[in-house]
Amino acid sequence: MSFKKKLAEKLNNTLDEGELSLLPRGFQTLGKIIIIKLNSKLFDKKDIIAQAYLDLLPKMRAVYLNMGRIVGTCREPENIEYIMGEDDPIVEHKEHDVIYRFNITKIMFSKGNINERKYLATLVKNGEIIVDMFAGIGYFSLPIAKHSGVERIYSIELNPESYKFFLENIKLNHLEKIIFPIKGDCKIEVVKLSESGIRADRVIMGVFPAPKDYIREALSLVKDKGTMFHYEGVVEKDNFFPLFEEFKEITLKEGYKCELNSHRFVKSYGPHLNHVVLDNFVFKI
């Protein structure tokens, strides 16, 4: 039986037919917290709905209501509100053998990006040097450090709240010898890394809107034998070509060559829009 049906059965005596049909189909769990989205017509019933979730999922400790999107340069949740259970928004969420500790009301954790979080680590070869430009709480740096033979990851994060949890996560996962966290704007920090002689086998540019304005500085990390750039963006349907062209144009202007190694779908981002990643290999001409 689908979860929505179970929920509807549980609330059969408290909600009317119309309300039952508006119940959400899915939900997200982060650690032991359930996050739901509700049709606004059900807002005044949120308490009894939250109680039904807790009854059906007894291992969970609280229910929060997500009423917004992920916004701004720091990619923060707009409006996540406590409804019921233990009112503590800090979770330890385990995924792919990695623990992510963070505050769910202040920091995003997209369930749609799960495959990409797992997949990147499988591409990394032994001894690689990686720069993760938009590290967040360690979305990519932690699984790569845990599951690949990477030598070192320089991980840059601007938002103090994310950076604080990132430092905790490095410790929680015992990855202090592999991950070198840097607090700051990656546009400036990658140039500093480059000036100190660091070159990367792989650069992760995992944020969107596509970080076009950061490409020129990121190119300062290119190795003589070439560097792979994982460049994220949102495209119309599967038309990733303009996204590749914008990256390629800048690399050519800066005196590099760029080849599209592969590209993949991450998640749907609204009608006709998809979140994708391009694997762009860049080398000196």
Ligand X SMILES: C[S@@+](CC[C@H](N)C(=O)[O-])C[C@H]1O[C@@H](n2cnc3c(N)ncnc32)[C@H](O)[C@@H]1O
Does 134 bind ligand X (CB under 6 A)? Our answer is: yes
The residue assigned the tokens 């998809």 is: 274
Nearer to ligand X, 113 or 169 (CB): 113
* Token representation of residue 189: 């920090």
Q: What angle do CA 135, 141, 146 make, to 5 degrees?
A: 160
Instruction: Calculate the CA 73 to chain-centre distance.
Output: 13
Contact range with ligand X by CB under 6 A, out of 39-47, 56-64, 143-151, 181-189:
181-189
Minimum gap (Å) between residue 145 Cβ and ligand X:
15
Determine if 108 is a binding residue for ligand X (CB under 6 A).
yes
**Judged by CB under 6 A, does residue 28 bind ligand X?**
no
Q: Please state the length of the chain.
A: 285
- Tell me: does residue 75 bind ligand X (CB under 6 A): yes
**Region from 14-22, 51-59, 89-97, 111-119 binding ligand X, contact rule CB under 6 A:** 111-119
β-pair type (227-236, 152-157): unpaired
The correct pick among 46, 61, 152, 187 for binding ligand X (CB under 6 A) is 187
Contact call for residue 169 and ligand X (CB under 6 A): no
Q: How far apart are CA 150 and CA 144, in angstroms?
A: 7
In angstroms, the CA 30 to CA 100 distance is 9
Residue closer to ligand X (CB basis): 52 or 204? 204
Which of 127/209 has CB closer to ligand X? 209
Which of the stretches 7-15, 67-75, 81-89, 233-241 binds ligand X when contact is defined by CB under 6 A? 67-75
Nearer to ligand X, 157 or 168 (CB): 157
**Helix, coil or strand: residue 130:** strand
Note whether 74 binds ligand X by CB under 6 A.
yes
Provide the H-helix boundaries in 61-150.
114-123, 141-147
Residues 144-163 that bind ligand X (CB under 6 A): 156-159, 162
What region does 126 belong to: left with phi over 0, alpha with psi -120 to 50, or beta?
Answer: beta
Cα–Cα distances in angstroms (integers) from residue 17 to residues 11, 20, 143, 195, 280, in the given order: 10, 5, 45, 65, 52
Asked if residue 128 binds ligand X (CB under 6 A), the reply is no
Rounded Cα distance, 82 and 95, in Å:
23
Residue linked to tokens 């015992």? 174
Nearer to ligand X, 119 or 283 (CB): 119
Q: Give the interface segment with ligand X, choosing from 36-44, 89-97, 131-139, 245-253 (CB under 6 A).
A: 131-139
Q: Are 169 and 99 in contact (CB under 8 A)?
A: yes
Stretch that binds ligand X, among 3-11, 38-46, 170-178, 180-188 (CB under 6 A): 180-188
The answer to whether 115 contacts ligand X (rule: CB under 6 A) is no
Residue, CB closest to ligand X:
134
CA distance linking residue 123 with residue 118, whole number of Å: 10
Q: Rule CB under 6 A: which residues touch ligand X?
A: 73-75, 108, 110, 113, 116-117, 134, 136, 139, 156-159, 162, 185-187, 206-207
